[in-house]
Structures are given as C-alpha cells and as structure tokens.
Chains A and B, each alone.
Chain A
Amino acid sequence: MNRVLSFFGAPVVLFARTTRAGAREGVSWRECMVQLHELGGRSVWLVMSGMAFFGAVLVTIANSQARRFVGNVAVLGPAYFELLIRELGPVVSALLTASRAGAGHAAELSTMSVNEQVEALEMSAGDPYSDLVAPRVVAGLLGVPLLSTLGTVAATLSAVAVAGIAFGVDGRAFMDPRYVDGWDLLAAGLKAGACGLYIPLAAAVAGLRARGGAEAVGAATTEGVVTASLGCLLIDFAVSLAFQLLRL
C-alpha cells in the first residue's frame, strides 16, 4: 500500500512543489531550451528509427491478419492507421523517450544528489525545483508531443513503403484517414502530453532521492526508467478507458 501511494503521490507532490517554486522564482527559458534539446534533439533518432521499424511490423501484422479473411492491407489498413494515430504512435514514442530521457534525467540528478551538488545549489540561494526540475518538465511537455508526431509520421511512412515493396499493395491504402477524427487526435494529444509531464517527474523523484555512492546512481537510474515506463502505460490505459466509457 505504501509503495502504491508513493508511486502515485511522489510525482504529484513534486509537481506541486515545482509549480510553486517556478511561479515564485521564475523559470529560465534558456535552460528550458537546453533541456528540450537534451530530451528532444537527442532522442529524435532513437524514436524515429524505432517507430519506423514498428510501423513495418504493424503493416506486416495487418497484412497477415487480413489475408486470413479477405484481400490484403487495403481492408484492415485504415483501422490500423487509426490505431497507430490514436494509440501506438504516442505510447510507443513515449516509452522510447522514457527509456532515453528518463534514464538520462535520473542519472544526472542522482549524480548531483550523491555529490551534494543539490545542497550546494540551495546554499547559493538557488532552488532545485525551479532550477533543475521545472525546465525538464517544460521540455517534456513540449518535447514528447513533438516526438510522438515525428514518430507517428516515421511509422506511417515506413508502413507505406513496406506495404508497397514487400506486399505489392498500393501503400497509400494504409494511409487512409477514413476513420481518423478529432477525438482520435485529442486522445493522442492527451496521452503524449501526460506522458511528457510524467516522465521528467518520475525521473526527478528517483534522482533527487538518491543517497550513497556510485551504486545509488545506478539504482536511481533503474528506478527512474521503470517508473517512467510503467507510468506511460498506466496513462495510456487511463485515457483509453476514459474514452471508451464516454463512448467517444
């Protein structure tokens, strides 16, 4: 029970403190840009290449499923395309970002905690929440939706290419936005935004809690990545369930 409470509670408390500190001290936009480059610019290759492979897998599956009944990709393509836009695009991109940015943030912050640099920052009238956590949260909120968009585009393009080259189907059948409406885009945006908010918070909770030596850094990194990944799955589940219950 305790662990469950701290799993959900710690990021919330940290978020509240960060917002308060950010409002009081102000957040350096320059630092936000630096963190956005750290989170976004450096993850872009990982997310895009991962999603490209994922799109190829998706179209392979759609093809083999469709062949059991009728025809080819053209039948199931649009449904899978909606699935990609609404579900897999944001979530798999967010998971990839969580593994990269979550690990990076947790490793950085825990190294700072272990070397007492966080205390040093407080001593010199800095505020760890507004100086360290807030820029990362802003970067996540901006960066993860952007990365999801790029990842979805990469997945779509590679799916179209694979369908055209490997299955001899006109790949544009896959890109049929017949079923995609505003609600799908809203669901995708909500998922990406919430994951972008959660990843830096989970990593910061794990990183700022680290005490000890080099081993604590490793442990904090592990914890940060695991909670960030699991959180992304939970957010995905919660948003999907809400949309399902509201029949949107």
Chain B
Amino acid sequence: MTPSPKPESPELNALRGVGGLGLEAVRGTGALALVAARTVLGLPRLERRELTRALVQFGYDSLPLAMATAALAGVIVVLQSGLYIQRFGARAFLGWASGYGVLWEFGPLLLGLIMSARIGARNAAELATMQVGGQIEGLRGIGLDPFAILVAPRVVAMELSMLAMSTFTFMVAILFESVAALFTLDLPLRTFFGTFAHMLSPLDIAGGVVKTGVFGLAISLVSTAVGLSARGGAQAVGRAAASAVVQSCAAIFVLDFVLTLLLAGWMA
C-alpha cells in the first residue's frame, strides 16, 4: 500500500467516503459468505466437545436471562395493549392481541437483541483474543481447520439454542401476560386463553420460531466473522466485541422487517 496523495477538493473527499463505504460493504458481505461457506464445509469434521461446551454456554447459561427478558416483554406488552384495548372496549381480544404481539414481534426481537449482546459480544471477544494472540494461526500451522473446531460448533450451537429457547421463552412470556392481565385489567384467565386459542393458529408460533432461528444464524455468523477479522493488539478485542453487537443488532432489525413482510404476505 503506497500512501496516496491527499485529495484537496471536498468532492474528491466525498467520493472517497462513498467508495470506502462500498468497499466496506462488499468486504463485510464477502467475510460473511466465507464464514458461512467454510462453516458448512467444516460441518462433517465438527469438534464434538466444543459443540457440547458451546451448547451449555449459549443455551443453558442464557436461560435465566432469556426467561427474564420474556417475562418482562410479556408484562410490558399487556400493560401497553391494556391502554388501547380498554379504549376500544375490546377487552376480550387482549389474549389474541398480546399473544400475536409476543409471538410475531417482541418475543423474537427482544430475544435476538439480548442474545446478540450476550453471545455475539462473547463470541467476537473470544475469537478476537485468539486471532490477536496468534492462536488461530497456530491451529492452521498444525494442520487443523479453525472453522471446524471454533466456528462451526458455535454456529450450530447458537442455532439449536435459539430454536430451543424460542418456544420456551414464548411460553413464559404468554404465561406472564395472562397473569399480568388478571392483575392489572381483572381479565379472567379463561377469557385470555379463550381468544388466544381461538384466534391464533400454530402457524403463528411457527412464524416466531422461524424469526428467532434466522436471528440466531445472523448473530453467530456476524459475531464470528467480526472476531476472526480482528487485527491489532488488546484494543482490537474490545473493538471487535463492541462492533459485533452493533452489527448483529442492525442485522436483526433489517431481517425482522424482511421476514415480517415475507411471512405476513405468505400467510395472508
């Protein structure tokens, strides 16, 4: 890389910025595609012990946090929909409205955001520490594939944990919703679950599970790609962790919109 002469005009600077952005986008997409492809290739030689460790870390250890998030999300949805449900005099529909909200929107979205904070940051930090410390090079040096050992287990474990946790957290959220409706709006549980069962189909649950699964895939791919592309010293580790969280959050919001359009269009 020869240092290029500094451009004087603001137009050139702007052009430079646009070009830099474009390059960054292409580079990011390429890194993601590479990580995804190498992960798929590494699947048959996936490290079992690492997989079980990651499953315990991502799934079991995140359960309390996921449960707390789900409970809060459920109560918040009820507190809020209670406002306008009473206004429209449609108290009976609360079960359906809040169930729909949690299954389709708030459950997957909040679970995705919290998990990207917890797992995405940790993944990126671990892999960045290894990358900066030269341990990844060391693995390659003794003829082992870092993707099969480090990346593939994380991606698979994240996917399994997210899918397993999604139905579980939805159940907790709906349970808390019904109790909150009982206490704040004096809505009998029978009414709540009546409209809930009557107006929601299993397809709605499937929609939430699909969303959560896609978010999990996005989080694991983005965070491992960011972690592996870290360069520099100790500072790079912190930077990688922070940028993994930000990028997974952005990815979750974009995917949320795309999936809502697709699933709503397909089911309507």
Residues of A within 8 A of B (CB): 46, 49-50, 53-54, 56-57, 60-61, 64-65, 67-68, 79, 82-83, 86-87, 95-96, 98-100, 103-104, 106-108, 110-111, 114-115, 179, 213-215, 217-219, 221-222, 225-226, 228-230, 233-234, 236-237, 240-241, 244
Contacts and interface: CB of A to CB of B under 8 A. Distances in A.
Contact of B241 (A64, A87, A103): A103
A79 B84 CA distance: 6
Contacts of B238: 106-108, 110-111, 217-218, 221
A103 B242 CA distance: 5
A46 B250 contact: yes
Given A106-B242, A107-B238, A218-B238, 17 more contacts: A83-B80, A87-B80, A99-B117, A107-B239, A107-B241, A179-B87, A214-B234, A217-B237, A219-B122, A222-B118, A222-B241, A225-B118, A226-B65, A230-B65, A233-B110, A240-B80, A244-B79
B66 to A, nearest CB: 11
A110 B253 CA distance: 28
A218 B88 contact: no
Contacts of B245: 99-100, 103, 221, 225
B220 interface: no
Contacts of A221: 121, 125, 238, 241-242, 245
Interface string B228-268: 00000011011101100110011001101100110010001
B24 to A, nearest CB: 13
A215 B68 contact: no
B113 A57 contact: no
Nearest to B128: A218
B247 to A, nearest CB: 9
Given A221-B121, A221-B241, A82 B84 contact: yes
Contacts of A57: 105, 256-257, 260
Contacts of A233: 69, 72-73, 76, 110
B50 interface: no
B75 interface: yes
B104 interface: yes
Interface in B72-112: 72-73, 75-76, 79-84, 87-88, 97, 100-101, 104-105, 110
A32 B80 CA distance: 35
A222 B122 contact: yes
Contact of A103 (B68, B133, B246): B246
B79 A213 contact: no
A209 B249 CA distance: 26
B240 to A, nearest CB: 8
Nearest to B185: A244
Given A53-B253, A61-B105, A64-B268, A225 B121 contact: yes
Contacts of B242: 100, 103-104, 106-107, 221
Contact of A218 (B84, B129, B268): B129
A114 B256 contact: no
B126 interface: yes
A234 B80 contact: no
Contacts of A241: 75, 79
